[in-house]
Structure formats: C-alpha cells, structure tokens
Amino acid sequence: MKNSKTILLPLAQTQQAPTHARRDEVRTQNVPVRPRNSAPPMRQKPNERPRAVNQTTTLRVTSQTRTQRTFTRTMQGRRYDNGMTLRPAATVRVNWQKPYFPRGHVYYPHYQQRYDPRRNYVSPFGFYFGIVPAFISRDFGYDRRPDHGYVEVITYSGNKFRSYANSQDTNYFNDRALMQREPGLLNAIDELHEAFRSGNIDALVTLTDPNTEIAIYLKGNYEYSIDANDYLDLTRDALSSMKTIQFDLTLLHKRAEGVYVVSGKHVYWGRNGETRTVYVSYVLESLRDQWTLTQVGMAPDRVQEWS
C-alpha cells in the first residue's frame, strides 16, 4: 500500500463547520414546584414613576432547551437547531416607524401605518398602545381557526377589563403533583417568564415549532393565525421597544389532555410614562413530546382607539 500524502488546501477553500452561538445556561438545580411570581409591591412616593420589579425565574436545563437555544448566525438571520429561522435586523427607513423603534432597527417587515380591515390585521401587540405599530399586513396571516379555542374568555365592565371568565376553574399551579404528571410544563412556563421579563427571545424559541402556526386571539376572540417565526419577530420588536414593570402568569387551567392555558398580566410603561396593563393568555400543547405554543391571547386594561 502506498503512503497517502497529506494535501494542504489554501485557507480560503477550507470548509468550516458552522459556528453556534449558545447563550449562557447557568441555572440553579433547586427548582421550585411552581414558577415564581412577583415580589411584594414596593412603596412609592406620591407621583413617583413606577419602578420595575426585579423578577427572576429558575429554569430547568433540558436537552430540549439546549437544542432549541442553539443557533447559527447567517446572512438570513438566526437559524436555530430546532429549525426556526429569525430575520436579521433591518434599518428603519420609513419615517412613521421611527418613533416606535428608537434603536433604529426592526425585525418584522410587514407593519402597516393605518387600519383597513380589508388589508390589515391588528398586531398581536396592538394593545400595547403606542409602543409598536398596531397593524400588520393581511398578506402574511391566515384565516385558519383552530378546531378548539383554548385561550381564556375575557369579560369587560364598560370599557375596562373585568376578569377572565373562567378564573374560578382549578388552578393547576396549586397542584404539587403537576411536575411529575406533566414533565416539562412548568419549565415551559418559566421560559415565558424569562422571555418577557428579560427580553430574551431565545427562551420563546424553545416553545415554538416552525411547522406549527400560532393562532392570535384579541379580547378573547379568534382573529387570524401566523407563522411561528413571524410571531417571534413581532415579539422581538415589542421586547426591544417596551419597558416592562411586571410580568406574572398566575392562572394555569387544563383544557384537554396535553393542553394547558397559562394566563396573567403584563404591566409596562405607556408611551406617556403612565402604567398600562395587557392581560395575556398562552396555550401550551404537548406536540411530539414537546410543549409548544399554539395560541396567544391579548386583552387591554381598557378599550381605546389607536392614535
């Protein structure tokens, strides 16, 4: 047998494996039975601007979170190992959008300035008045109502939010056996907490499937469905523009076998410095042994017209 020769290729022709950017996953292993809620209210001086609550969430590091939080940077954006692709940031060049994005970049490319029901949908974040553009093009949504709507039913008193209609249903946050009976569910809820408290989109990626659309419900009513990556890019824009004071998920209701809806409220600073609240509802379904976000509900603290 002849001795094989080592062939040295020029550096420019050498193919390198893709470089993954993995976020820090240092977490304590002492996981609570239920996700932590907000700290006790802090005393504030009269007319003092609200202060953000320092909220922390303990996450369980699993093979699912490791895989889905790993991504490759490409010219097309972030490509995650679970198949999800998020767009790269684009420079804001449209004048009417600039007040919404003070950092000068935007991820979702299909915002609309004015509402026309024939051409537009209200964004999943349209009830965060003045924080991000309220409308998106109908060309990138779908009228595909799920067979079952699981988000919470909303009730109003006049134009003000009153309650979740099913708030007296069994709250499974009080079920000490839930962790054993529904493995990974509490961790999925922790991921929601981390995403909206810390502005970390990676946490939300772990709950999405590129082949599963997300149904959008506004004030408890089904409106449309969008691709998971579009929902994530809309969320990235919202997280980069809003200032969160408090994000708490306090109700966990079972809707069917392997289907839970977790609900609570998101308190943020409004455009004029006032405190505003959006009541949120997220449906998590066990699909292919992974907890997946399939429906999202939003309802404002008070009904108003968009400015």
Q: Which of 248, 216, 15 has the alpha carbon at shortest distance from 127? A: 216
Which band of pLDDT confidence, cut at 50, 70 and 90, is reported for residue 2? very low
Question: What pLDDT shows up at residue 140?
Answer: 95
More confident residue, 105 or 23: 105
Mean pLDDT of 39-45: 38
* Residue 90 in this model has a pLDDT that exceeds 70: yes
More confident residue, 267 or 82: 267
More confident residue, 53 or 87: 87
* Residue 143 in this model has a pLDDT that exceeds 90: yes
Q: Which amino acid is at 148?
A: H
Mean pLDDT of 55-67: 43
Q: Which amino acid is at 58?
A: T
More confident residue, 213 or 21: 213
3-state secondary structure the chain: CCCCCCCCCCHHHCCCCCCEEECCCCCCCCCCCCCCCCCCCCCCCCCCCCCCCCCCCCCCCCHHHHHHCEEEEECCEEEECCCCEECCCEECCCHHHHHHCCCCEECCCCEECCCCCCCEEECCCCCCCCCCCCEEEHHHCECCCCCCCCCCCEEEECCEEEEECCCCCCCHHHCCCHHHHCCCHHHHHHHHHHHHHHCCHHHHHCCCCCCCCEEEEECCEEEEEECHHHHHHHHHHHHHHCCEEEEEEEEEEEEECCEEEEEEEEEEECCCCCEEEEEEEEEEEEECCEEEEEEEEEEECECCCCC
* Residue 17 in this model has a pLDDT that exceeds 70: no
* pTM listed for this prediction: 0.78
Q: List Cα–Cα distances, 201 to 23, 147, 165, 197, 254, in angstroms.
A: 11, 28, 30, 11, 26
* Residue 266 in this model has a pLDDT that exceeds 70: yes
For 158-213, how does the pLDDT look when each residue is reduced to its tens digit (9 = 90+)?
999 999 998 788 999 999 899 999 999 999 999 999 999 999 999 999 999 999 99
* Residue 10 in this model has a pLDDT that exceeds 70: no
136 in Cβ contact with 283 (< 8 Å): no
Question: What pLDDT shows up at residue 34?
Answer: 37
Question: What pLDDT shows up at residue 81?
Answer: 77
Whole-angstrom Cα Rg for the chain? 21
Which band of pLDDT confidence, cut at 50, 70 and 90, is reported for residue 78? confident
Question: What is the CATH T-level fold of the domain 142-300, as seen in this structure?
Answer: Nuclear Transport Factor 2; Chain: A, (3.10.450)
Q: How many CB atoms lie within 10 A of CB 99?
A: 12
